[in-house]
Structure 1
Amino acid sequence: MASPLPKDPSARLLRDLTHSLPMALLRTREAVVHRFREVLSRHGLTEQQWRILRALEGREGLEVSQLAEQCRILLPSMTGILRRMEQRGLVRRSANRADGRSILVALTEESQALVEEIKPEIVAVYAEIEQILGKRKLEQLYALLEELESGLQGEQP
């Protein structure tokens, strides 16, 4: 016997969990990040550490809260990650000359060399993704994701 339809019409629009947008995005994120994790783990880095290195690359430094925002890492977590990275010699922290109340984080020479060493492997992962989707579809994917994010945040496209 079939179960009765819900009285609330909006409940009928709820997709099966395996076909929901959040689950599709999570599965895809895990598949993509898995490829990058393979590279990063060979170099003793986490995803979060790599995001920090990439955000700092080519810059004199960033204020900790700016770095946390750009890398999408919560500030309390960022503090611990930066402490471990500093102990490993990957970042250095210094007082912000423009604003003595804040701390700037910058790459060390060691981490700059590490980024240069890892780049070709990361580029190869991007090439694999582009080969799967093609350049046009990959650019469309970026555009659609940005449009969705902006729309959900109430921004104009």
Structure 2
Amino acid sequence: MATTFPQHPSTRLLRDLTHSLPMALLRTREAVVQRFRTVLSRHGLTEQQWRILRALDGRDGLEVSLLAEQCRILLPSMTGILKRMESRGLVRRDANQADGRSTLVRLTEASQTLLEQIKPEVVEVYKEIERILGKRKLEQLYALLEELEAGLLEGQS
């Protein structure tokens, strides 16, 4: 005979897991990222490496900690990723002339060429997403996500 346990009253306040906001965001993120991952894997890049290349694109370098913050990569992980990218000739690290204690990360000529090859494919993924939602809804989605993030960050203060 199976034993049943009474349901705690507070668990009835939770939405079904399939309708929870964190799970919905995770499922959607995975569906979106999978489209980009397909493009990136053809070029031998990881999502994190792509975020780094994108953050550096059009800039004359970024300090490592600022790059990590912008790419949402923890600093210890960033160190390893940059070492692998440097060994592939995708980035170079130089002493920051303005502050000798920090390091600037810069794109190489090879990575700039790679970026130019990948950009049209990435644009196609964005076009697919826009076809699915429509331009207006996509802009609303960006606005809602930014509003939610700002509100949650404000609530932390």
TM-score by length of 2: 0.93
> Match for residue 91 of structure 2?
91
> Match for residue 71 of structure 1?
71
| Alpha-carbon distance between aligned partners in 2 of 1:93 and 1:5, rounded to the nearest angstrom | 56
C-alpha displacement at 1:52, in angstroms?
0.1
Matched AA of 1:112? Q
Superposition RMSD in Å: 1.3
Matched AA of 1:21? L
The change in CA–CA distance for 1:37 and 1:7 in structure 2 (over 3 A counts) is closer
Q: Where in structure 2 are there 5+ consecutive unaligned residues?
A: none
Aligned ranges 1:6-155 → 2 under 5 Å: 6-8=8-10, 11-154=11-154
| Alpha-carbon distance between aligned partners in 1 of 2:79 and 2:38, rounded to the nearest angstrom | 25
Matched AA of 2:26? L
Question: What secondary structure is seen at the aligned counterpart in 2 of 1:101?
Answer: coil
Question: What secondary structure is seen at the aligned counterpart in 2 of 1:105?
Answer: strand
| Alpha-carbon distance between aligned partners in 2 of 1:41 and 1:52, rounded to the nearest angstrom | 15
Matched AA of 2:75? L
Matched AA of 1:17? L
| Alpha-carbon distance between aligned partners in 2 of 1:67 and 1:93, rounded to the nearest angstrom | 12
Question: What secondary structure is seen at the aligned counterpart in 2 of 1:92?
Answer: strand
C-alpha displacement at 1:64, in angstroms?
0.2
C-alpha displacement at 1:4, in angstroms?
6.8
Question: What secondary structure is seen at the aligned counterpart in 1 of 2:54?
Answer: helix
Question: What secondary structure is seen at the aligned counterpart in 2 of 1:60?
Answer: coil
C-alpha displacement at 1:7, in angstroms?
3.9
Matched AA of 1:26? L
Give aligned pairs, total: 151
Q: How much identity, in percent, do the aligned residues show?
A: 81
TM-score by length of 1: 0.93
C-alpha displacement at 1:12, in angstroms?
2.9
Question: What secondary structure is seen at the aligned counterpart in 2 of 1:154?
Answer: helix
Q: Where in structure 1 are there 5+ consecutive unaligned residues?
A: none
C-alpha displacement at 1:5, in angstroms?
6.8
C-alpha displacement at 1:71, in angstroms?
0.1
